[in-house]
Structure 1
Amino acid sequence: MEAKEVLQQIGQYLYMAGIAIKDGAIWLWKAISAWYATLPLPTAIKLFSNDMANRYLFFGISVFLLIMNIWAFALFGSDKSKAKRKQRRVREGKLFRICFFGGAVGGMIGMHVFNHKTQKKRFSVGIPILFVLQLIIDSFVLGFLAFWTFF
């Protein structure tokens, strides 16, 4: 077989695997929502009424986000320093991954404090988009946990 045929076959297998994963996720979602719908309302509310567990979860997520933002800020500073000294640099993919997994605020601050990667469209547009998405998701998650924990 030629390389082109092998690549086409691999592509077909990946496509079929993606469809299978999507179908499995839909089935799992339906099964969980059907189970959750059978719970009486007070029991469904009690899933989030354990104050101590919610408090640990709230502060755990907060500490995780703080660490990720400090790490992203430090990585942007380190990459700028390495760029000036013409040393081996931090990969752009790593910078994006850290920003994606909670460090967008630190990454955005690091970009502007160190004036690093501000000319690249990928960063000057991508990091603020990640920031807005994280702001929405984090405020929803932490607000939800704070509501069930502190009120």
Structure 2
Amino acid sequence: MISETYYIITIAVWNIIVCCIYGYDKLCAIKGYQRISEFTLLFLAFAFGGLGALLGMVLWHHKTQKWKFKIIVPIALLWSVFAIGYGYGLIVI
């Protein structure tokens, strides 16, 4: 039971971090600072941060016009849900 709780909390915190990274990149875009690469942003989405990436796109209005992000981030969200659910199933067993 405790390991399940830590698993869920870890995934939730990670998705919040990914969302904040998208917000930070948006701030860098506005201020003209050095940006985070698109590869890194997409990698974070596939590294179990699909929900955070999608929320970051919507919340910060960031990368919403790029077709690559419109297509790949929802795929990353599906991947994250599948992989997290599978991992959660292994923990419960």
List alignment gaps of at least 5 residues for structure 2. none
- 2:35 maps to which residue? 89
| 1:79 corresponds to which of 8, 21, 25 | 25
| 2:83 corresponds to which of 137, 141, 144 | 137
- 1:117 maps to which residue? 63
What TM-score results when the alignment is normalised by the length of structure 1?
A: 0.56
- Distance in 1 (alpha carbons) for counterparts of 2:6 and 2:39: 26
- Distance in 1 (alpha carbons) for counterparts of 2:13 and 2:37: 20
Aligned-residue CA RMSD (Å): 1.7
In structure 1, what residue type is equivalent to 2:18?
A
- 2:9 maps to which residue? 63
Pick 1 or 2: higher relative contact order, CA cutoff 8 A, min separation 6. Answer: 2
**Aligned positions, number:** 93
User: Are residue 100 (structure 1) and residue 46 (structure 2) matched?
Assistant: yes
Larger Rg: 1
List alignment gaps of at least 5 residues for structure 1. 1-53
- 1:21 maps to which residue? none
What TM-score results when the alignment is normalised by the length of structure 2?
A: 0.86
- Distance in 1 (alpha carbons) for counterparts of 2:64 and 2:49: 17
- Distance in 1 (alpha carbons) for counterparts of 2:90 and 2:71: 29
| Cα contact 1:68–1:98 (8 A) shared by 2 | no
In structure 2, what residue type is equivalent to 1:131?
L
